[in-house]
Structure 1
Amino acid sequence: MKRIPLICYFILILAPFAQPERTVAGDQPSDFTRLHFQVPWPPINNKIQPSRAMHADLSTFVDEAWILPVHSSHLSPGHITSRALKMPGLRPFFLVGEDPQSLAWLHQRATELQEIGAAGLAVEVTDTQALARIRAAAPGITILPVNGNDIASRLKIEHYPILITATSLEQ
Structure 2
Amino acid sequence: MKRIAIACYFTLLLAPFAQPELTVAGDQPSDFTRPHFQVSRPPINYKIQPDRAMHADLSTFTDEAWILPVSSSRLSPGQITPRALNMPGLRPFFLVGEDPQSLDWLRQRATELKEMGAAGLAIEVADTEALARIRAAAPSITILPVNGNDIAIRLQIEHYPVLITATSLEQ
Tell me if structure 2 keeps the 8 A contact 1:69–1:127: yes
AA partner of residue 119 (structure 2): A
Show the counterpart of 2:155: 155
The DSSP-based 3-state class of the residue aligned with 1:123 is strand
- Secondary structure in 2 matching 1:71: coil
Q: Any residues of structure 2 matched to 1:18-33 within 5 Å, and which? A: none
- Counterpart amino acid of residue 117 in structure 2: G
Q: Is the 8 A contact 1:94 1:118 kept in 2?
A: yes
Equivalence for 2:144: 144
Q: Distance in 1 between matches of 2:47 and 2:112?
A: 31
1:133 is matched with which residue? 133
Matches within 5 A, 1:64-75: 64-75=64-75
Which amino acid in the other structure matches residue 72 of structure 1? S
Contact 1:57 1:142 in 2 (8 A): no
**Aligned mates of 1:131, 1:84 — CA distance in 2:** 30
State the 1:75 CA deviation: 0.2
Equivalent residue, structure 2, for 1:82: 82
Amino acid at match of 2:72: S
- Report the CA distance between 1:61 and its aligned residue: 2.4
Offset at 1:56?
6.4
Rounded to whole Å, the distance in 2 between the matches of 1:39 and 1:89 is 26
Match in the other structure for 1:92: 92
Aligned to 1:120: 120
Q: CA RMSD in A?
A: 3.0
Query: Cα offset for 1:121?
Result: 0.2
Using a 3 Å threshold, how does the CA distance of structure 1 residues 56 and 80 change in structure 2: closer, same or farther? same
Distance in 2 (alpha carbons) for counterparts of 1:91 and 1:141: 14
Determine the C-alpha separation between the residues in 1 that align with 2:73 and 2:155.
15
What residue number does 1:43 align with?
A: 49
Seen in structure 2, the aligned counterparts of structure 1 residues 40 and 62 have a Cα distance that, compared at 3 Å, is farther
Query: In 2, distance between residues paired with 1:97 and 1:72?
Result: 10
Structure 2's unaligned 5+ residue stretches are 1-27, 29-38
CA distance in 2, matches of 1:72, 1:93: 17
Shift of 1:58: 1.4
- How many residues were matched structurally? 135
